[in-house]
Amino acid sequence: MSKEVREQQPQLLWKHFADLNAVPRPSKKEERVRAFMVAFGKSHDLEVIEDAIGNVIIRKPATSGMEDRESIIMQSHLDMVHQKNNDTDFDFLTQGIDMFVQGDIIKARGTTLGADNGIGVAAIMAVLSSTDIAHPAIEALFTVDEETGMTGAKELDKTILTSKILLNLDTEEDDEIDIGCAGGVDVTATKTYPLEAVDGNYISKKITVKGLNGGHSGMDIIKGLGNANKMITRLVDAMQKRGAVHFQSLNGGSLRNAIPREAVAVVSLRKSDWEQMRNTFNRCKDAIQDEYAALEEHLSIAIEAIENAEVLTESDSRELVYCLLGIHNGVYRMSPEIDGLVETSNNLARVTLENGELQIACLTRSSVKSSKTDLSSSIVAVMKLAQMDAKLSGDYPGWQPNANSTMLDIIKAKYTELFDHEPRVVACHAGLECGLLGERYPGLDMISFGPNIRRAHSPDEYVEITSVQKFWKLLLEVLKEIPKA
């Protein structure tokens, strides 16, 4: 399945990417990919260490003539976001990613590709396995569980690493040099509702929202893409304005860091209200499709009959709708200092209601700690007004930009020399591990860069081949320019 991928240039990088993508590597279940990395390091007679949390560190000495340079950390994360289309038969726990080449891009069939952060991992592997690439002494750091908590970076052993420079290879625009990122916090609400039966005067309907683009809940949040959880809530709210609506179930979204692409709600209503509700539903459906026509060309909204089952009470159903309407979703505040940068946002990522058991999962991001607290507190307040048990967890810091970075000067100059224009120096609205790594090892000079990766965290994810070539060229030249110790 990966032969055509392995034939791309640079072949050494793509070979390692294909090997990596043959190994299942879901967040929190990285045992196989950790073993894969350990075996890789040992097969090249390199020093390999695993710390207590599961991060893999591989050390390689400097090449001839580079022994007097500062040693560096090259860092990427091993896990990947697992998303697939509903009609795709695929088991992320047992199968390798099924990739194909389409012109200048590489994609996966019906699933996420894992270019985030597999390209970064493969690039580091290519340097470690090479015999002709000039580089200083390297501490390659492969972290675990970046996508669902950053626990690898949070729990990284504070005594293992010795270098003062860190190259993070986990960004997704090849003309950007990242020097800062947002922090984040998980917001979760739970509640158990009593259920009641409905009589023969009621009918049940299944509402389905699907076909949305989805994407990265940090990098793509500025695009104003549709959120399936928000859309389905609007539809149910419109219906309940015409009569009693009782929730049977609700299932929307998946991971906190992925914008929800699909949602399904099952509701019960009086037969006598159906005609009015159907007309209201269709008007709301048309309004949503008109609003998102330019962004979500594959959006599909449907309603169909389904069997009755036990339901929430009318008042509990109404309260749940009000809560979901009240939870902010999308951009909350733009940065007043950096043009075009989202400062604070929230993703209403996952909503599940089954047999009366509710869970709501959000991810709030911000580059400003106080703003992150402000937004997450307001979301918790809405949840508590709905009598839910709400809590915050997984808080991680942002990465404060360092305009005086030596590595920033080096990479800017080298980029300009290679590509005849200056790179954009930015902070990104995503949770790079640099903030946590900087806490574990204060004083690190950190830079992040990478190739063009599009639609990350969705089954439409792809990476541009020529962009990977550009990224690889820059990386090799930067390795030559690491300053003397």
- CA–CA gap between residue 150 and residue 168 (Å, rounded): 14
**DSSP classification of residue 162:** -
Peptide bond into 229 cis (omega under 30): no
Asked if 374 and 256 count as a contact pair (C-beta separation under 8 A), the reply is no
Polymer length in residues for the chain: 485
Could you tell me the sign of the dihedral formed by the alpha carbons of 312, 314, 318, 319, in that order? negative
Taking residue 337's Cβ as centre, other Cβ atoms within 10 Å add up to 11
Catalytic residues: 79, 146
Instruction: Give the H or E element holding residue 320.
Output: helix 314-326
**Among candidates 130, 157, 129, which has minimal Cα distance to 143?**
157
Asked if 207 and 235 count as a contact pair (C-beta separation under 8 A), the reply is yes
Which amino acid is present at 351?
A: V
**DSSP classification of residue 272:** G
- CA–CA gap between residue 216 and residue 233 (Å, rounded): 21
Which amino acid is present at 393?
A: S
Query: Token pair for residue 412?
Result: 């800017």
Asked if 171 and 178 count as a contact pair (C-beta separation under 8 A), the reply is yes
Peptide bond into 10 cis (omega under 30): yes
**Among candidates 361, 328, 329, 365, which has minimal Cα distance to 344?**
365
Asked if 151 and 53 count as a contact pair (C-beta separation under 8 A), the reply is yes
Asked if 77 and 147 count as a contact pair (C-beta separation under 8 A), the reply is yes
- CA–CA gap between residue 362 and residue 380 (Å, rounded): 10
Instruction: Express the helix, strand and coil content of the chain in percent, nearest 5 each.
Output: 30, 30, 40
**DSSP classification of residue 364:** E
